[in-house]
A = this chain, B = another copy of it.
Amino acid sequence: MSAFEHVRDLAPQQLYPGFLARAIHGDELTLAVVEIDPGAELPEHHHANEQFGIVIGGSLVFRVGDEERELVPGTTWRIPSEVPHSARAGGDGAVVLDVFSPPRADWQALDASEPQTPRWP
């Protein structure tokens, strides 16, 4: 297996309606480029995996625990294990990068579609 993969060659998986992830997994890490449709909402949820991320393009309102903020390109987030979080994309949608440790083993059960042209880059 190559060490290198372009996001356009990764099979997209729908996490929630309007949230499309292209992910790579390892022993300790999952890294995903996530495309979010305009106005799409991620319902509040939580998981054992620690989660960090950063906005690449567009905007979204993100809530972590009791803190809510509108995020723009270059804003990072840090979500400790089991802390509830939710999000809602802005009017132009968003492209974000999410990383997890331990890896998101639960994503293996999600359907994967054929690779298709990503919104970014």
Q: Which A residues fall within an 8 A CB radius of B?
A: 2-8, 10, 24, 26-29, 31, 33, 49-50, 52-54, 56, 62, 64-65, 67, 69, 71-81, 97, 99-102, 118, 120-121
Main secondary structure of the interface of A (DSSP, over half): strand
A85 to B, closest residue via Cβ? B3
Contacting pair A27 B3 (CB below 8 A):
no
Q: Report which residue of A3, A24, A52 has the largest number of chain B beta carbons within 10 angstroms of its beta carbon.
A: A3
In the A-B complex, the 6 residue pairs with the closest CB atoms: A3-B64, A28-B101, A73-B121, A101-B101, A28-B50, A74-B121
Q: Check if B7 sits within 8 Å of A74, measured CB to CB.
A: yes
Given the known interface contacts A26-B52, A50-B28, A52-B24, the answer about A4 and B99 at a Cβ–Cβ threshold of 8 Å is: no
